[in-house]
Amino acid sequence: MSNIGTVLKQEITRLSRRESRSQIHPTRKATAQHRRDIAALKRQVAQLERQVGLFSRKALGTPPAASPHAPVKRVRFVAKGLRSQRNHLGLSAADFGKLLGVSAQSIYNWERESAYPRGEQVARLAAIRGIGKREAENRLKQLQSATATIRAKA
């Protein structure tokens, strides 16, 4: 025959687990719903950011691609040159990235030579190589105003 103390202890443990489960279940359901909502919002934000990037590139009128028969001018990418150009313009990595249509992290990685820009991005780098501080500031203002109008419409 079992000891009454152990039987009583097992019953108390069983009842306490049951009670705690009944208290935790609604919280778990709510947490799961919140996580689903957050994931949906993150997807929506990512989609809107892609749209803003697309519209800002259209608003700035990126130069059209050269015809296939035209000679292609090869442009070298040098990380040190990128860093010096950004410092010359007095721009942060985030602002410089906005000018090029890439993230600040991309600029940082290019400068550290842990990544290299694609051909299209190298062409954009070459296109802004000759601009000065005022022109860079004007282009950033245009980007910000275009982004603000797009956000206002959404």
Mean per-residue pLDDT over the chain, rounded: 86
Q: Which of 17, 35, 61 is the last residue of a domain?
A: 61
Distance CA 64, CA 128 (A): 15
What is the percent of the chain with per-residue pLDDT over 90, rounded to a whole number?
A: 47
pLDDT for 69: 54
Q: Which of 9, 33, 61 is the last residue of a domain?
A: 61
> What's the rounded mean pLDDT across residues 129-136?
88
The candidate with the shortest Cα–Cα distance to 106, out of 126, 79, 144, is 79
Q: Are 83 and 111 in contact (CB under 8 A)?
A: yes
Distance CA 132, CA 85 (A): 10
Distances 96 to 18, 37, 80 between C-alpha atoms, Å = 58, 33, 15
Three-point CA angle 127, 130, 136, nearest 5°: 85
pLDDT for 120: 87
Is 128 inside any structural domain?
yes
pLDDT for 79: 86
> What's the rounded mean pLDDT across residues 41-61?
87
All residues at 6 or more sequence positions from 147 whose CB lies less than 8 Å from its CB, including other chains: 52, 56
pLDDT for 127: 86
Residue 1 pLDDT class (50, 70, 90 cuts):
low
For residue 119, pLDDT over 70 is answered with yes
The reply to whether the predicted model has a pTM over 0.75 is no
Distance CA 44, CA 141 (A): 26
Instruction: Write the CATH number for 145.
Output: 1.10.260.40
Q: Are 94 and 104 in contact (CB under 8 A)?
A: yes
Q: Which of 28, 61, 94 is the last residue of a domain?
A: 61
- Do 90 and 40 fall within a single domain? no
Q: Residue 92 belongs to what domain range?
A: 79-153
